[in-house]
Amino acid sequence: MMTCLVSKPSAGASHHCPSGFGQHCSFHLPDTPMHRAAYKPKGRENVMHLLDVVVQLAYFEADCLDSLLAHFTELLATLPTPTASQSMMRSVFSYMLGSQSGSWPAMVPFQSAPTFPWFALAGMLAEAQLPEVATAWKSLLSAIAESPQVSMEVLVKKTMQAPLDVLLLYRWAYQSLQTDADHPALPLIWQQFFSLYLQRCPNGNSAGPRFFESTSYFSLLKKMKRRLSELADHSYQRCANAGEEEPVKGPAREVVQNVPHFQ
């Protein structure tokens, strides 16, 4: 067995691991053969695989996911401006992300990590907790309300000084499309997508539809609607096959169609 230690956040942080974990969250990982990667893409996959296992274990330990997210957020806050004496974990994230690490405080690839949903979930949750990311999102919603005729690309560049693909809304969307239907993290990923999609601008208008007005992103929204219907039918059928009581009334597709502003 291999033991992975995740440091607790600083003393002033409110999140903590369960009592008895001491100064670290200690996870006993399954034996996994470790080999030196022959090329960087494979090495990055190995790192994401290990983090995926750590996040999965943390999720099922009371309060440990909060501690892990706090640690990830702290590391992310220092990624854009690495120092000569950066920690091993910062070095790992910088290696894993390559050139992306200097453009935006993210540890998850912009185009999703379909093979590592637990890692993607924790990485994007940690990113969302960064003050600059949360502030940029609020500023973007205000800009949408003030300039309803301006394209989303222009608004994002103006308010966030970044390209569209850094937006967590799109990245949750891509991750939800590419995660396996039976993966336990998938409902949590969809939840995060809708938590952003269903937000309102300061003027009370729905923000979500504005992000999918362009041709390329409108096609993404169509894929998501189709995928959500398929997942609803899949879950409905699994419950029926297991002899469980019907989880919803009426056809599963009607449930999807009744999601506000997602038609």
Confidence check: pLDDT of 221 > 60: yes
Q: Return the top range by mean pLDDT from 67-81, 87-101, 150-164, 238-252.
A: 150-164
How much is the average pLDDT of 231-243?
83
| Phi, psi torsion values for 216, nearest 5 degrees | -65, -40
Give the relative orientation of helices 117-128 and 40-59 as an angle to the nearest 10 degrees: 80
Confidence check: pLDDT of 108 > 60: yes
Q: Give pTM, 2 decimals.
A: 0.75
Amino acid at site 134 = A
What distances in angstroms separate CA 88 from CA 36, 82, 95, one per listed residue? 17, 12, 10
Give the relative orientation of helices 168-178 and 215-241 as an angle to the nearest 10 degrees: 40
Percentage of the chain surpassing pLDDT 90? 44
Could you tell me which of 83, 79, 76, 61 has the C-alpha nearest to residue 16?
Answer: 61
What does the pLDDT look like over 171-216, one tens digit per residue? Answer: 999 999 999 999 999 999 999 999 999 999 999 999 999 999 988 8
Which range is least confidently modeled, 56-65, 76-85, 136-145, 238-247?
A: 76-85
| Adjacent-strand bridge partners of 5 | 26
Q: SS3 of 219, please?
A: helix
User: So where are the chain's domains?
Assistant: 43-77+102-242
Rounded Cα distance, 5 and 17, in Å: 12
Looking at per-residue confidence, does 41 or 114 come out higher? 114
Phi-psi region at 250: left, alpha or beta (left = phi > 0; alpha = psi -120 to 50): left
